Amino acid sequence: MIRIKMRFLNLLGRMKGYSGCPNCDDSWYWKEDSSLETSPNGGGVMICKECLSKPEILDVVKIERSLSDYNWKSRDIILVLKAVNDFKKKGEANANVGPKKVRQ
Residue 101 lies in a domain: no
Query: Would you list the DSSP string of the chain?
Result: -HHHHHHHHHHHHHHTT--B-TTT--BTTTSPEEEEE-STTS-EEEEEHHHHT-GGG--HHHHHHHHHHTT--HHHHHHHHHHHHHHHHHHHHHHT--PPPPP-
Predicted confidence band of residue 92 (pLDDT cuts 50, 70, 90): low
Query: Domain of 71?
Result: 2-95
Give the chain's end-to-end CA distance (angstroms, integer): 52
State the total domains in the chain.
Answer: 1
The residue ranking higher by pLDDT, 96 or 78, is 78
Residue 19 lies in a domain: yes
Residue 103 lies in a domain: no
- The answer to whether residue 88 scores a pLDDT higher than 80 is yes
What's the average model confidence in pLDDT over 8-24? 92
Residue 56 lies in a domain: yes
Residue 102 lies in a domain: no
Residue 29 lies in a domain: yes
